[in-house]
Amino acid sequence: MNKSNEGFLELWYSSMMIGSISMVALAIIVYLIYKMRVSMINDLKEKHDFINQNEVKWYKWFYYLIGAAAAFAVNLYGQDNNGGIGIWFIVRLFISICAATLIGYVASLVLEYYYPTVLNFKLRRLRYTPRVNPKTGSKMRLLSEDEEDVHLDEGMQAEENLFSIDYDVWVDEKTGDVKIEKYQGHLLALQCNNCGFYTMKVQREEIVERNEDGSPRELLKHYQCAYCKNVRATQFTISRKEAEDYKNQKPKRKGNPKNVELIKMDVHSNLGHKKSFEFSSVEEAQKFLSEFDFDKLV
């Protein structure tokens, strides 16, 4: 091996070492900055929106940097027992690029398609954790009516790309204080009926029915799954209530029914029969119970 080759290899290996270490360091910094930014947001709704829009992006950067670190590290392999720059050098370089691509690609697939399920639980916890009235410190309660209704901001109705919003209305039952949170419906991912991932998002929305005075009444949301491309369309009633109207509204019942994902019910008869039922909402379960007659089922 001649002198200049030796010098080059020495430089090469030390740069690979520095590169690998600095990429790992950078990845850790990216992760910590993200976590710090999240922890600096106190408001649960703001935290929800920030995580919803940023977590996947930041985590991707973390894994891209880890991929780059791996590529540098691969080029350190076998540095003690070789002869100069040969074909193996090129092969190793090629393998290192493949390794980085693989890590980046697999991580972004996982983050795009699998991770939203995990994210969804995190986001739901932020959205439905009982709010605290800043004035009194007491817990507020989420109004549950009009769950199927969506809202349109006045300014939005004129826009071409119409996107409706969901209101979450929190009420302090003792003082009557109200906190209203607006969620952009099209930014929230739903579970796809076909593949089961939380990758179903609104693509576009259109007004399909109007009232006599021309104000919009029914809205059709077109969803598409980012993973399996399955589509679905759901119609919603457009609420005529503005955010302010909720301030005079009293909660209809106790509890926090919006938190419920599934209700399982076992009904045992005195003859030893048993029937199991599942419901997706408190309303459904209540309706079922009010009409329930065991004899008709057996």
By beta-carbon proximity to Zn ion, the closer residue of 115 and 246 is: 115
By beta-carbon proximity to Zn ion, the closer residue of 204 and 241 is: 204
Q: Are 145 and 185 in contact (CB under 8 A)?
A: no
Closest CA to 96 of 13, 33, 210: 13
- Which among 26-34, 130-138, 179-187, 226-234 is the span making contact with Zn ion, rule CB under 5 A? 226-234
Cα separation, 222 vs 231, whole angstroms = 7
Tell whether the torsion through CA atoms of 131, 134, 137 and 138 is positive or negative. Answer: negative
113 binds Zn ion (CB under 5 A): no
Query: Which pair of structure tokens corresponds to residue 126?
Result: 């932020």
What φ, ψ does residue 53 adopt, rounded to 5°? -95, -20
Closest CA to 141 of 153, 152, 128, 157: 128
By beta-carbon proximity to Zn ion, the closer residue of 194 and 249 is: 194
DSSP assignment, residue 111?
Answer: I
Identified binder of Zn ion from the candidate list 73, 111, 202, 225, rule CB under 5 A = 225
Query: Which pair of structure tokens corresponds to residue 34?
Result: 């993200």
Q: Are 257 and 281 in contact (CB under 8 A)?
A: yes
194 binds Zn ion (CB under 5 A): yes
226 binds Zn ion (CB under 5 A): no
Closest CA to 248 of 180, 168, 181, 178: 178
59 binds Zn ion (CB under 5 A): no
Strands (E), 116-215: 141-142, 149-150, 165-171, 178-184, 200-210
117 binds Zn ion (CB under 5 A): no
Least distance to Zn ion, CB of residue 186, Å: 17
Least distance to Zn ion, CB of residue 197, Å: 6
82 binds Zn ion (CB under 5 A): no
Residue with tokens 């090629």: 94
38 binds Zn ion (CB under 5 A): no
Identified binder of Zn ion from the candidate list 63, 163, 183, 227, rule CB under 5 A = 227
Q: Are 84 and 42 in contact (CB under 8 A)?
A: no
Query: Which pair of structure tokens corresponds to residue 16?
Result: 């690979």
Identified binder of Zn ion from the candidate list 165, 180, 228, 243, rule CB under 5 A = 228
- Which among 14-22, 84-92, 135-143, 189-197 is the span making contact with Zn ion, rule CB under 5 A? 189-197
Least distance to Zn ion, CB of residue 63, Å: 23
- Which among 93-101, 159-167, 225-233, 241-249 is the span making contact with Zn ion, rule CB under 5 A? 225-233
Identified binder of Zn ion from the candidate list 22, 138, 230, 286, rule CB under 5 A = 230
By beta-carbon proximity to Zn ion, the closer residue of 99 and 228 is: 228
Least distance to Zn ion, CB of residue 12, Å: 46
Residues at the interface with Zn ion (CB under 5 A): 192, 194-195, 225, 227-228, 230
